[in-house]
Every structure is written in C-alpha cells, then in structure tokens.
Amino acid sequence: MSKLSLVERQEYLDAGPDARAGVVDLLVWDVDGNVYDVEMQNGHMAGIARRARRYVSLVEGSMMEKGQSYDAVGRVVVIFICTGDPFDRNWKRYQYSYKCEEKGMDSSMELGDGTMIVFVNARGTNGDYGEEFDAFLSYVRDNTVNSEYVRRVDDAVRRLRDSSVWRRSMMLWSEKYREDVAEARKEGEARGEARGIAKGEARGIAKGEAKAIRRFELLGARLGAAGRGDEIQKALRDPNYREELFREFGI
C-alpha cells in the first residue's frame, strides 16, 4: 500500500442540496490519490450492503473536481469493520467489486471502475489473511492485544479516548441528542393534548404519543450505535425520512 497523505476523522460529506448527506468514520487518502473510507459497524446489520453503496457514492462525489478527467480519479475502497458476520458465511473478510455476468464470458472479468467494498468480520474463521489480520480481528472482537501492530492500534485508541477534545465532542453529541428527544417529547405531548381535547380521546392519544416517542428514542440509539448519529436531526424534521428509518431498523 502507498504512503498516506491525509487522514480525516468524522468527515461530513454532502452530495448536494437534494441528496442525503452523511458522516464517514474515517477517510484516508494515499499519495496516489486513492481514497479509503473505513466504517465501524456494531450490532445492527440490516441494509449494510446498500449503506456501503451509499458511502461509495458519497466518497466519489467528494473526490471529483469540476473539469477533472475520469481517468485521473483514484480508487475508492469502502471498508466496514464489523463486530459480527454481515452475511452469515463465517468468512473473515468479504471483498466485492463489479464483475461481468454475461453468459459465456469470463466471470472473473472485473469492470475496472476502481471501486471496492470490503466487509471485515471479527468473528469469522474462514480465510487466511495473515497473523496480523487475525490479531486485529481478536482486538475488535474482545480487545485482545497480542501483536506489536495491534499494540500500536490500541495505544492510538487509548490516546484518542483520553483526549479532552474527543470527550468534549461526545458529551456535546449526547447533550444535543437528549435535547432533540426532549423537544420531540414536548411537541408530541402538545399534539396529543390538542387532539385529545378536540376529539375527546386524550387518553388514547397520550398512549399513542408515548409510543411514538419511545420509537424515536430507540431510533436514536440505533443510529448512534451504527455511527449515524448525524441523521437524527433530519429524522426530526422529515416525517417521511423518519418512517424510512423506522422500516430500515425494524422499529
């Protein structure tokens, strides 16, 4: 792999005023102009393949400059590091790229568009990718430090967790999330009261609003665990998008 030229954490990528933006966990550029998006996936796996496709489009959109030749654009590699198996096949790694599917042609012929999606399964046992890779999986799975490389990774993680800037950003996010939920609860209670007075169904409306608030709180927790906390604000503002997320997470 080439030397790295730039690393950005929690980078905000916007694909346009009418498109869904996103925050990527880690963006890495190498000196050859290739970009690697690394995402940490804890727990919920539903829709992960389509999420990966979305991240490819976001990263590609951020790479292209006006007037730039397509041949000059580097590769895009999206990597999901998963604490569980996203495809239930027990492989340590799943690597995908576009290949030809025409009958009678070589099925290994790749499109060569420069995109790749990789899912790392911390609990996988199939596949041989070297001792360091296995050591990294053990670290993701149960925090085991059993190699010099993983020790360096662990030291970097600990430095970040001990950083006052990181702690402050997490605290602010937590406070903002609580404020959003409180605002939604207040709005829901007000709507429930108004409807109850108008229809004489205050008790039923209150139960309905309480259920709606619990759904939103659960959605916020799921988004946070999936590294998608930035979507909470849009879920608050956009009822259609909120329902889309409810369906995605099965809430």
* Predicted confidence (pLDDT) at residue 9 exceeds the cutoff of 90: no
Query: Residues 35, 63: contact at Cβ < 8 Å?
Result: yes
pTM over the 0.85 mark? no
Query: Residues 138, 120: contact at Cβ < 8 Å?
Result: no
Domain boundaries, the chain: 4-127, 164-246
Mean pLDDT of the 13-31 span: 65
Residues of the chain with pLDDT > 90, as a percent, come to 25
Answer with the residue of higher pLDDT: 245 or 228. Answer: 245
pLDDT value, residue 225: 66
* Predicted confidence (pLDDT) at residue 165 exceeds the cutoff of 60: no
Query: Residues 241, 234: contact at Cβ < 8 Å?
Result: yes
**Tens-place pLDDT, residues 99-148:** 888 877 776 788 888 999 999 999 999 999 999 999 999 999 999 999 99
DSSP string, 104-166: TS-TT-B---SEEEEEEETT--B----HHHHHHHHHHHH----SHHHHHHHHHHHHHHT-HHH
> 188: Cβ–Cβ under 8 A, 6 or more apart, which residues?
209, 210, 212, 213
* Predicted confidence (pLDDT) at residue 19 exceeds the cutoff of 50: no
pLDDT value, residue 99: 87
The two three-digit tokens of residue 238, written as one number? 């956009």
* Predicted confidence (pLDDT) at residue 21 exceeds the cutoff of 70: no
